[in-house]
Structure 1
Amino acid sequence: MKLGFHLGYWSSAPSDDERAAFSLAESLGYDSVWTAETYGSDCLTPLAWYGASTSTVKLGTNILQMSARTPAATAMAAMTLDHLSRGRFILGLGVSGPQVVEGWYGQPYPRPLARTIEYVELVRKFVRRDQPVSHNDGAFYQLPLQGGSGLGKPLRSMLHPLRPEIPIYLGAEGPKNIALAAEIADGWLPIFYSPRMDDFYRGALEEGFSKSGARRSLDDFDIAATVPIVIDDDIEKAADVVRPNIALYVGGMGAKEANFHNQVFVRMGYEAECARIQRLYLEGRKSEAIASVPLAMVEDVALVGSRDKIKEDLVRWEKTAVKTLLLQGLGYSSIEAVAELLA
């Protein structure tokens, strides 16, 4: 497996160590570095700012939220960053959830899979630049716009792409979304991958690979899983670093009726635990919600504990379909220790 570093998104403010983290990850042979966004910091600006100090490591968005930008704006940013990085950019896309899509971006959420198909198709057309782009029969996007001034016309990017295709990865959690990633994308970005669920994930992926128009097979399709890792001889102390993030996603990142992160853990068998965590979180009892995350739930999706334990746990991951470990939650001083551990 390849090794990546997932910076994530900023909470209240950025860390002073982020530029150093990018450079250190590159110097230690990490394959990629990734940024994220939600309803705060964006993913493109930090990637360009910190990525400017690197020369070989791949630079990816995990994820760029589709509702934040039109397909044309996303294609422009992708081509620009691909040029600036000399062909190192990976475009990771995701739909987010209805709370963010409709509450923050003011865009409609329904039919996210169909919207994704159309969005990816248009981004590829813009990047390919083989002809002016027209898209008259789209369910979500029309180019030129129908019902406007009537003066719009199909256009082709003034910028020539460095590459006619930029790798596109999709963030996905449910089986239909995972199958769609396998069908139309170059990689999948799972946020809570459990080795115990590997057969389930392989089945969803195969559903997509089996479609007649699928671009790839499992052999040349990247699965870059975000995996928190905390090295500490006290396993409960290590798990305590990860528990707040799990509680946030299971309990508060999404509406009660539509929390897709919650359902990932329900499929793992934690239905009662998820219900309790969500109830406590939505009642404002966050510390209790965090304390309700059991150790087993943490160990399913993270690497926690002593160096020897993590070495043993890595055997499980090596047997999965995952091809890139995107390590997260390290504390920047741990990047070197993790590289040594996984060497």
Structure 2
Amino acid sequence: MTLSLPRSALSIAELDDLDHEGAVRFLRALEEGGHRMVWIPEVAGREAFTTAALALGSTHRMIVGNGVARALERVPKSAASAARDLAAGYPGRYVLGLGVSGAVRERGVGPLPFLRDYLDEVDATIARRGGSRAAVPRVLGAYSAGITRLAAERADGLITFLVTPEHTRWARETIGDDLFLSVVQWAVVGRDRAAARDVARERLAYYLTLPHQIAKLTRLGFTEADLAPPGSDRLVDALVACGTPDQVRQAVRRQYDAGATQVAISLVGRLDDAKLDAYRALAPPHTTRTTGDDDT
């Protein structure tokens, strides 16, 4: 199936640091500010599917995607059942995102065969519950050639993050012209380049400890010196847009030009009034648009 999703979205890591009431207020503020879709990463604490349910229940029209749920965190039956119920309960508003890291090798299997088998079991579970493959739209988080091709074969799209436009161009060439491709673009609004680097490095520190992220960034041409914590200026500048909302939009445009169907902005830094103002400034126009329209 071809995913028809908003051309612009957000990837919101802030939920990990908010309690229930704070998360509800934040989600509602984003929707009221004009944002139409959020991806929820599973990183530091919140469980993927209960958090997606919270986001769907807290908003009226917002589309919510797991971006991405960690396959290693739960058996396929659990992921499939949760995703099917969310898709059925909120028609047209939920997208399942799945990903797996190289940590799966500790189980004696590589990421590609693991995820292929995982998808087999997801499909089987949905079928047993009377659903069809098309009932639960899904994307894969991928950087390697194998899983990127698997997304073209077994999913409705691909989601990537912490990548340059060069990677986006490669991904588009790998999956073909028609498959949905969402790219998460980190950004810092309202600060000069030096201050933005400091903010970005606080969040980047975790990812510079992950072997699969290091491998991805090495393939993109970054050196050992670039990737040594806290990350070189060259690395941070390539991965994080900064400046005014218009300057952030210029970086987003480069991802579109490289082949992204959708760009999901992820604002880096602590949540405060200035950050909420930045979210409002980056909201798309309040018009009805199709996937191919430019609403950044």
Deviation of 1:309 (Å): 2.8
Residue by residue over 1:12-35, the C-alpha shift from the partner in whole angstroms, topping out at 9 and shown as x without a partner, is: 664864222322333344332122
Q: What corresponds to 1:119 in structure 2?
A: 118
Contact 1:4 1:326 in 2 (8 A): yes
CA distance in 2, matches of 1:67, 1:114: 13
Alpha carbons of 1:37 and 1:230: their partners in 2 closer, same or farther (altered >3 Å)? same
Tell me, which stretches of 5 or more residues in structure 1 are unaligned?
130-155, 207-217, 254-258, 278-288
Which residue of 2 is the match for residue 280 of structure 1?
A: none
The answer to whether the Cα contact below 8 Å between 2:188 and 2:241 also exists between their aligned partners in 1 is yes
**Which stretches of structure 1, 4 residues or more, deviate above 6 A after TM superposition?**
none
User: In the alignment, does 2:149 pair up with 1:179?
Assistant: yes
State the shift of 1:84 in Å. 2.4
Q: Which residue of 1 aligns with 2:288?
A: none
Count residues in correspondence.
276
Of 281, 285, 290 in structure 2, the residue corresponding to residue 337 of structure 1 is: 281
Matched, 1:235 2:235: no
Q: Relative to structure 1, is the Cα distance of residues 177 and 163 closer, same or farther in structure 2, using a 3 angstrom cutoff?
A: closer
Q: Which amino acid aligns with 1:44?
A: F
Quick check: which has more Rg, 1 or 2? 1
CA RMSD of aligned residues (A): 2.7
Structure ranking higher in helix proportion:
2
User: 2:264 aligns to what?
Assistant: 326
TM-score by length of 1: 0.71
Matches within 5 A, 1:1-343: 2-8=7-13, 14=19, 17-38=22-43, 40-98=45-103, 101=104, 108=107, 110-127=109-126, 129=127, 156-157=128-129, 160-161=130-131, 164-206=134-176, 218-219=177-178, 221-250=179-208, 252-253=209-210, 259-274=211-226, 277=228, 289-290=229-230, 293-330=231-268, 331=271, 333=276, 334-339=278-283, 343=296
TM-score, L = length of structure 2: 0.82
For structure 2, the 5+ residue unaligned runs are 1-5, 286-294
Give CA-to-partner distance per residue, 1:261-317, whole Å, 9 cap, x none: 012221222113245x1xxxxxxxxxxx22xx2333223222212334334333322
User: Relative contact order (alpha carbons < 8 A, sep ≥ 6): 1 or 2 greater?
Assistant: 2
Distance 1:22 1:162 in 2: 30
**Alpha-carbon distance between aligned partners in 2 of 1:61 and 1:261, rounded to the nearest angstrom:** 19
2:44 & 2:280 partners in 1: Cα distance? Answer: 31
